[in-house]
Structure 1
């Protein structure tokens, strides 16, 4: 009888131990899936990836892996959420420095939206960056710096595997003709398989305020929406400051911007120290969202070219009510 009781106790202990082990494994698995220390980039406190539809089964495991994005901006500062190994090349067209830095903050904020991978997680956290500094400490650039940056990409596109160019900048009140040198470079880049994404500008609500060089027909031009602090597209409106296209002038045949997405109160990385964050608004950051999304799509469709991704972006939109195409293009992105 005693032996039987001992055997029964041993069996109960073994069963209890097994249950504890299984529970521990479940807790560990939960920890991998739901990391409370991580936060995805947000707009007005809303998860941008959720708004875009990137938590759906076909996208949720994609992270921009294998995709290199060229960021033409103010540089990128070192940050805890953006390891130095993610920047495979840095070129400074302003001060000719060697090591990556950012004396304005705009570029670091852009890089965070696209691909932060720490406490803050961007749209494409496993993408790589080529960083070209064309903005000075005041956030200004010149025609010559932009031209030099684009030529550098053309000459080095194969070497660094550049697939996307993020241009969250521009020159106000400049409307060149179709023979413009930068437009020719955009055309060449498109033929080479590079997707160029430009910000519309922040000079709305007046018409004909798309910032140069985003009027080019060979780039995706991105405007901003105010999401009214909801995930519902029905109440979205074009941000007051988002630049509009020309519905009546010489460029009325171009329906710019091409698409729109979140642009109000975006939360991303600050350049002020390695662990800081900030909230900013504007079409520059809408553009970064689309660049990150494009990296995810390129990972999903590795055998498809830039024209396929461009058409997919244009077609994956929801038209906003009471907004014409010179305000919203095809509408707001939704995968």
Structure 2
């Protein structure tokens, strides 16, 4: 939906946060600093990501033989590899010796790596935001497996949605009763040390226990399940994909593994991505989004009142037609929320992410804020249109525009986006 004009704004600091905020902020100032492998903190308290100077992420071309992969590892002096532990065999994390010129090595691989489709730097992505009422009590693997099986739905739902996030705590979603994705293709299952996928996968711990020990993914899932119910969408399934840990932290590798896993699942129509980072895009993630045009991607725009047209925020700033970027309207629905990112070409729709009610551990409603929580509202509305036969992203976009509410205020220019999805 966004303009295809290239963003020429070059920055040297990459800031990553899962896109959630719990208090409205009135003013923001981002301090731009030279990229360093050491984490630093900006003036607004955002922790900078850490560049892992001994790792790169590699994407092989489809069909490259294992013998050729080994030859490539030898060619570029790879001392160790990490795989996604799923049926995806084309993405690997390569490890190099301490002291390696990682930028130079990336350039060498890009230019001379015959059989390699893409190369990404590896970052640790920190997150400062936690769902404030989350109970971090540990859920046993046995209990989680039981609940997953209890929540698995029918084999052929009208719409299936993958949620890339911190996982899901089903104990706290009993009232929402989300229906989980049922895998029918036994040949397309994640397996690690005898642990076999049930519904979803944990790419932080490489197992089938997608338990949410952070709370963010559970809140997003609850909002989505409630929206689907309110829209009358009953025949659906949700695929939980855990790519962040108990502190909301993840890596480039876990993000790519999770995304590649989601697009490999038959029937997935939408991927909800309530997270993001500033400045430096992932080449491989962009490739995967472009190569799966039938899957609609819905991403939060970020929470620093940043103009994403000038300082891009990914994945929301990708210009692919099958990706929508979501900002937040304020609780009174008269102007953009004071924390929400914006941009005339980089933010597509607004929804309510300001003081959104969600249930806490005791079943009592609590208020949370952030573009993370506006995003599943648009995901739910898009799911409704898909069940009505609007299967292409352009068709869903048109329905959202036609049925959205125009932001009619003289307080803000149109550049903040002017269509509210409720």
- TM-score of the superposed pair, with normalisation by structure 1: 0.65
1:72 — aligned with what? Answer: 164
Correspondent of 1:131 among 221, 240, 247 = 240
Residue 407 of structure 2 is aligned to residue 305 of structure 1? no
Residue 201 of structure 2 is aligned to residue 91 of structure 1? yes
Correspondent of 1:222 among 295, 308, 326 = 326
CA contact (8 A) 1:203 1:209 kept: no
CA contact (8 A) 1:113 1:122 kept: no
Q: Which structure has the highest helix share of the two?
A: 1
1:24 — aligned with what? Answer: none
Equivalent residues, number: 242
Deviation digits for residues 285-315 of structure 1 (CA, Å, limit 9, x no counterpart): 110100011111112226x433211232234
Highest Rg: 1 or 2? 1
Whole-Å separation in 2 of the counterparts to 1:184 and 1:198: 16
CA contact (8 A) 1:256 1:326 kept: no
Question: What stretches of structure 1 of length at least 5 have no aligned partner?
Answer: 1-64, 246-253
Whole-Å separation in 2 of the counterparts to 1:280 and 1:87: 27
**Which range moves more in the overlay, 107-116 or 203-212?**
203-212
Correspondent of 1:241 among 314, 339, 354 = 339
Structural mapping, 1:1-335, within 5 Å: 66-78=158-170, 79-83=173-177, 85-88=179-182, 89-116=199-226, 123=231, 126=234, 127-156=236-265, 158=266, 161-171=267-277, 173-176=278-281, 180-190=283-293, 193-204=294-305, 208-218=310-320, 219-228=323-332, 236-245=334-343, 255-270=345-360, 272=361, 275=363, 277-301=365-389, 304-317=391-404, 318-322=406-410, 323-328=412-417, 330-333=418-421
Whole-Å separation in 2 of the counterparts to 1:316 and 1:98: 39
Aligned in 2, Cα 1:324/1:306: closer, same or farther, shift over 3 Å? same
SS at match of 2:279: coil
Deviation for aligned residue 1:135: 1.5
Task: Supply the RMSD in Å over aligned alpha carbons.
Answer: 2.6
Whole-Å separation in 2 of the counterparts to 1:332 and 1:261: 5
- TM-score of the superposed pair, with normalisation by structure 2: 0.52
Deviation for aligned residue 1:87: 4.4
Deviation for aligned residue 1:205: 5.0
Deviation digits for residues 169-218 of structure 1 (CA, Å, limit 9, x no counterpart): 112x3233xx822112111122xx11110000001156645531110112
Deviation for aligned residue 1:100: 3.2
Question: What stretches of structure 2 of length at least 5 have no aligned partner?
Answer: 1-156, 183-198
